[in-house]
Amino acid sequence: MELPIAVEHWQNGDAIFVDIRDPQSFAAGHISGSQHLDNSNLPQFLSSVDKNQKVIVVCYHGISSQGAADYIAGNGFTDVHSMDGGYTAWSMSFPEHTERN
């Protein structure tokens, strides 16, 4: 998903943003309102989130998130996207919508 479209979904609040980067990177900075997703909380995410909810997967640059988005879609989710450019592009384009520690 292109960055301008992703930010529209973020502004509308109609998508869940999941960040698959390592915990330290997520803690250092992430898209405001996004949630960290890794192997420890993936089963709970897959079982608790509405499978028709739009999910946008974020990694560093938009490459690893493609495989993660495919995996989530393979678990019955109907509207899953990888965000082009990842967190790096978001933080450079929309620093005001980025939480940093």
Q: Judge whether 56 and 94 are in contact, CB under 8 Å.
A: no
8 vs 47: CA distance, rounded Å: 26
Collapsing DSSP to helix, strand or coil, 98 comes out as strand
Q: What is the β-pairing status of strands 15-19 and 35-36?
A: parallel
The answer to whether residue 59 is catalytic is yes
Q: Judge whether 69 and 81 are in contact, CB under 8 Å.
A: yes
Options 15, 18, 37, 59, the catalytic residue: 59
31 DSSP β-pair partners: 98
Cite the active site residues: 59
